[in-house]
A and B are shown apart, each in its own frame.
Chain A
Amino acid sequence: MATPITIVDDSTMSRKLMIRALPKNWDVEISQAQNGQEAMEAYHQGKADIMFLDLTMPVMDGYQVLETLQKTGLNSFVIVVSADIQPKAQERVMQMGAMAFLKKPVNTEEVTAVLTEYGII
């Protein structure tokens, strides 16, 4: 069965880049969200077993998504995808429950490495 994943980013370009960077042989059903609110809707519709989450977005940002998931004990495997590559920014999202961190611009090798590490592929 295909894994439902949601790619959350306000930039169309950035979502496109993310989709292109997914491993070719990975069987997924891809949904897209432009902000945190849409991401939460996708989650509740069962479309976000795995979430690729940008941090800076209008309406509801990535930090708020992490906070909501953590507070309400919801269970999505969140991989943060961010341009803010300062070690302290990475630490912060990991503390907030993110499972992994990918720096922008994403590339297939790094995505594959993360997914392999957690036995997802």
Chain B
Amino acid sequence: MSIAPLTEDQRDALQEVLNIAMGQAGNSLARILDAFVELSVPRIRFVEVSMVTSTIEEFVPCSGEVTAVRQAFFDDLRGEALIIFDQNGCQDIADLMGYDDHLDVQAQQELLLDVSNVLVGAILNGVTNTLGTHLSYSAPSIMAERTLLNQIITPENVPWTHSALLEVNYSLKDRDFRSHLLLFMAEEAIEALRKAVDDFVESF
């Protein structure tokens, strides 16, 4: 199945939608974390499954082990979000969220899932607010712990051949914390995305 990439106008519009969403997400996070969030310029790619690992490595400049959380979203748009934390990020989270005490493994995982859920919800709510679409979410789950970046996805197990890949990252001023968020929307889901973007452009 070959997928037509977005036109220049569609891509420009999607980029702008993501910028706005990123701004709203940053603001939500800043309120919760009481810190200044440095916003990234969202990146948009269309990838074939054979390129997925190299694209992730390009987007996430992290040589050590990482922990990855996944979460599905569905409704008007459909896809899967991957949130990648480096080990510093994982350790910083408890501190950020105001936990002083030592956390056991379950509590740490819960916190990681909570933060991932907030990061995903923040950016996607921004997208849906702007596009006027609706989304629901599955519960997030831990996909890989302390794993090398190039091993978090096994291309043989990926059920699609083409996917839109959107990347944003969040880092906090004066802190080590950084996390990368990858949104995958594969095959037919790309068409839904295209339609949502077209409707948005036409609404002006």
Contact = CB atoms under 8 A, between A and B. Distances in A.
On whether A and B touch (CB less than 8 Å), the answer reads: yes
Contacts, number: 53
Given A13-B201, A17-B204, A86 B30 contact: yes
B201 A104 contact: no
Given A20-B204, A105-B20, A85 B27 contact: yes
A12 B13 CA distance: 8
Contact of B16 (A13, A20, A82, A85): A13
B19 A104 contact: yes
A84 B19 CA distance: 8
B13 to A, nearest CB: 5
B9 A104 contact: no
B37 A86 contact: yes
Contact of B19 (A16, A56, A89): A56
Interface in B5-58: 9, 12-13, 15-16, 19-24, 26-27, 30, 36-37, 39, 41
A99 interface: no
A14 interface: yes
Nearest to B41: A56
A75 B12 CA distance: 31
A86 B27 contact: yes
A94 to B, nearest CB: 15
A13 B20 contact: no
A68 interface: no
B161 interface: no
A89 B26 CA distance: 11
Given A13-B13, A82-B23, A105-B130, 14 more contacts: A11-B12, A11-B15, A12-B9, A12-B12, A13-B9, A14-B19, A17-B204, A56-B39, A56-B41, A83-B19, A83-B21, A84-B39, A85-B24, A88-B30
Interface of B: 9, 12-13, 15-16, 19-24, 26-27, 30, 36-37, 39, 41, 130, 201, 204
